[in-house]
Structure 1
Amino acid sequence: MRALILTAIIIVIAFVVKVDLTEGSIPLTALQTKNTATTSLCEKEPHYITVQTIEGDTIHSLFALHPAKVPMTFPERLQLFYQLNPHLQLQEISPGEHIKLPLSFELANNCGK
């Protein structure tokens, strides 16, 4: 009987680990509540251009070819890049792919100021 219970526990733990590794962290985001009505009005939206990549393109080379219109640090621009292209967080840039390059920030709304 102990072996059966131990086997069931191991299977449950293995399933939880598998789900965690394939779908990301155990869904704690469901516990976080956002007020989307107020956050969407005050978020910054970047200006961007769409470019088609060629063989050998990297994020660094694309940023160098298309500089930002306003001064921003590389981490800030990289964060905007991944917001615009979330599919590239876990994969390389493929030749012929159309991606969005951030150029600057613009406030979507002045948030009452």
Structure 2
Amino acid sequence: MRAFLLTVAIVLIAFVVKVDLTEGTLSLAAFYPKDGQNALCEDQREPAYITVQTIQGDTIHSLFALHPAKMPMTFPERLELFYQLNPHLQLQALVPGENIKLPLSFEIENACGK
């Protein structure tokens, strides 16, 4: 009986490990690099932005209104880019005199040049 339970336990553990490695917490994408140099370029992409200094009474809405985007995008899309550029403002109000980055368009490539 012990041998049977031990065999069932080993098979169950092997199944869980197989599922975890193929579909679970370890992503297979990291194991297969994309086109070498192009993969590095994708990591260096960032949205086009301008840097502005805030003044008393500024809000994200007012800054977006003063500096419209170069291409059509929804407010949630632009807000997501804003927080990617300014992660320190995630749970914080704008402080007068602070320099922040305002996104103007979606991602553009840096010096990699495809």
Task: Identify the TM-score tier after normalising by the shorter chain.
Answer: 0.5 to 0.7
1:85 aligns with 2:102: no
Cα gap change, 1:41 to 1:85, in 2 (>3 Å): same
Quote the residue 2:20 is aligned against. Answer: none
CA contact (8 A) 1:53 1:99 kept: yes
Aligned-residue CA RMSD (Å): 2.4
Deviating above 6 A after TM superposition, structure 1's stretches of 4 or more consecutive aligned residues are: none
Give the share of equivalent positions with the same residue, in percent.
71
Instruction: Tell me the TM-score normalized by structure 1.
Output: 0.60
Looking at CA atoms only, which structure, 1 or 2, has the larger radius of gyration? 2
Rounded to whole Å, the distance in 1 between the matches of 2:71 and 2:49 is 12
Instruction: Tell me the TM-score normalized by structure 2.
Output: 0.59
Cα gap change, 1:65 to 1:32, in 2 (>3 Å): farther
Quote the residue 1:56 is aligned against. Answer: 57
Instruction: Return 99-108 or 45-54, whichever deviates more.
Output: 99-108
Rounded to whole Å, the distance in 2 between the matches of 1:86 and 1:57 is 18
Quote the residue 1:108 is aligned against. Answer: 109
CA contact (8 A) 1:51 1:101 kept: yes
Cα gap change, 1:96 to 1:32, in 2 (>3 Å): farther
Q: SS at the partner of 1:51? A: strand
Aligned residues: 79
Gapped regions of structure 2 (runs ≥ 5): 1-24
